[in-house]
Structure 1
Amino acid sequence: MNISARDLRAFIALVEQKNFTRAAEQCFLSQSAFSALIQGLEAELGVKLFARSTRRVELTAEGAVFAESAKRLLIELTLVHSELKDLVDKRKGRVAVAALPSLAAGWLPVVLKEFRELYPGVTTELTDTLSDECLDLVRRGRADFALCAAGVEMAGLEAEPLCTDTFYVVMHDSHPLASKKVVSASDLQQHPFIHLTHNSSVRQLLDAALHPARVNGIMEVAHLASVASLVANNVGISIIPYLALFQFSLPHLVVRPLKDPEIVRTIYVVRLRDRPLPVASETFLTLLKKRRSKIGAELLKET
């Protein structure tokens, strides 16, 4: 069946006006074009919808049944059109993002605040978690895109570089290495070291970059806040990505660049391959890319 919104509007106009001339004028059609449209609708449905006389046009029994459905369908089509227009104009919608905790707690809120001010009708959802979980949320459709490191298994996903992140050694200001301007991997080996857990992308990158050298790991923790407290209390030292340094603005804690090797990680925008983002999410991602130059500046305010 091929019935358009135009057909429905013409039908309802004739029901209301009970006159072909007035109904045609209401629809901005010539009377001949309007009559052909009504005849085409009756042919499509296989029934006569109107009983015509020289003075009036009345609904047939079949036409009366169709009128109820036509009015309902036209209302629903109008609502659907309005909903879609709201989505396109970003008056409504949903943006769901998964991001590494260092981004979710640092730079990303600045962009989220700007986006929410621009599009107050759009719902924003943020999940802060490790890279593997970020990727899983994208695969399961729970997040429109993720800001994280690339995983070992990226089938079905596409990853676009967002920014790069270098690494720093953090320590108590009384630590022997605090006198150095730059710290190398060989300097670390004899000092108690605080690790992040093995499922952290930071830990995985460090293990690979420092191999075959080993550090004197004395404990593992899951959260950067725990690393910061342990280091600030001189329990050990650690290596932290630049994007997380704002969490290490604590008394008696110092930061030194790590060289030899210089470790760099890439943060990606990860999304499902060959699937367009919802309009609101695409708009947020565009804003995020425009503001990526501010990543360092915003974090420097905290360090």
Structure 2
Amino acid sequence: MTQLPVTEADLQAYIDGHLPESRRTEIEAYLAARPGEAERLLAYRRQTATLRVLFNPILSEPVPARLTGVPRTRNWMLQQWAAGVAIAVTGVVAGWTLHGQMDEPGVPTLAQRSSRFAEDRQVANLARQAAIAHVVYSPDVKRPVEIGADQEELLVTWLSKRIGSKIQPPKLGKLGYELIGGRLLPGESGPVAQFMYHDSSGQRLTLYVSTEQAHNKDTGFRFAEEGPVNVFYWIDGKFGYALSAGTNKGELARIASAVHEQLKAHA
């Protein structure tokens, strides 16, 4: 049987997982003989994974009522009046509450609350940045890291110098994960480090280390689902840590606890 020619539409469908098994096998054979094309498709896959991490949370949000196409009714004026009353009542209650809190010791001011909100947002952003870095680099077969584990001493020295603090990758061999290596990444205000591990099945795990949250207080473990990636993240002293993987939450929590213990022991 004559094999069909491979088109760009075939390649895009292959990336999206929309090809039947027989055609997918043909495309894989085609790519095996063309490393340049395979590398190009890998770059597309990275972009797709990054976009999913960025926008999947937005896609899961409910559609605003104003966009559902529901026509206005004759009750519109009544609804506007009710909204006005609600706003007025809310304003009075909020004003009275703030008035009482102004003189109450220990109650945070509006400025303090705003500051805390900004800090919480920055800490939560740690998880998202780590997840994006994970989906961009962990699928890479040829060069997932800049410096391999065979040069661990050089890797540690280089990353520690660049981020301005001594860092050390934890040992996870007892948990079934071996260090592959690491790389330097751009953060929001400076460099951050990423260490990558894998287990015998090829599952990859990354530890993202940042000093951009240094002014935040220490936190306990926090969990986030960023698209296909699960993330445990926390602040400890001058460092922000985020452990990312496609594995389940329970398994990742077990590894995160071991990582936290090792890092505390070497602090």
The TM-score, its normalising length taken from structure 1, stands at 0.22
Q: Which has the higher strand share?
A: 1
Q: Rg: which structure is higher?
A: 1
Q: Which has the higher helix share?
A: 2
Q: Specify which structure has the bigger relative contact order, considering alpha-carbon pairs within 8 angstroms and separated by 6 or more residues.
A: 1
The TM-score, its normalising length taken from structure 2, stands at 0.24
